[in-house]
Amino acid sequence: MSVLHELRKGRVSTPVLLLTVRANIEDKVLGLDAGADDYLTKPFAFQELVARIRALPQKENRGGTTIASVCRSHARPPRRVVLRGVKKIDLTAKEYALLYYFMRNSGLVLTRTMISDHVWDYNFDSMINIVDVYLNYLRRKIDSDREHKLIHTVRGVGYVLKEE
Please give, one letter per residue, the 3-state secondary structure of 62-92.
Answer: CCCCCCEEECCEEEECCCCEEEECCEEECCC
Question: Which amino acid belongs to residue 77?
Answer: P
Which CATH number is 2-161 given? 1.10.10.10
Q: At 122, is the pLDDT very low, low, confident or very high (cuts 50, 70, 90)?
A: low
- The whole-number pLDDT of residue 136 equals 92
Task: Report which of residues 72 and 148 the model is more confident about.
Answer: 148
What whole-number distance in Å separates Cα of residue 13 and Cα of residue 61? 13
* Whether 71 contacts 163, CB under 8 Å: yes
Answer whether 0.85 is exceeded by the pTM.
no
What whole-number distance in Å separates Cα of residue 119 and Cα of residue 122? 8
Question: Which amino acid belongs to residue 37?
Answer: D
Maximum Cα–Cα distance across the chain: 47
Task: Report which of residues 73 and 132 the model is more confident about.
Answer: 132
Would the pLDDT of 91 be above 80? yes
Q: Where are the domains of the chain?
A: 2-161
Section 118-128 average pLDDT: 65
Section 131-149 average pLDDT: 87
pLDDT tens digits, one per residue of 33-87: 888 888 888 888 888 887 777 777 654 333 333 334 444 445 544 556 677 777 7
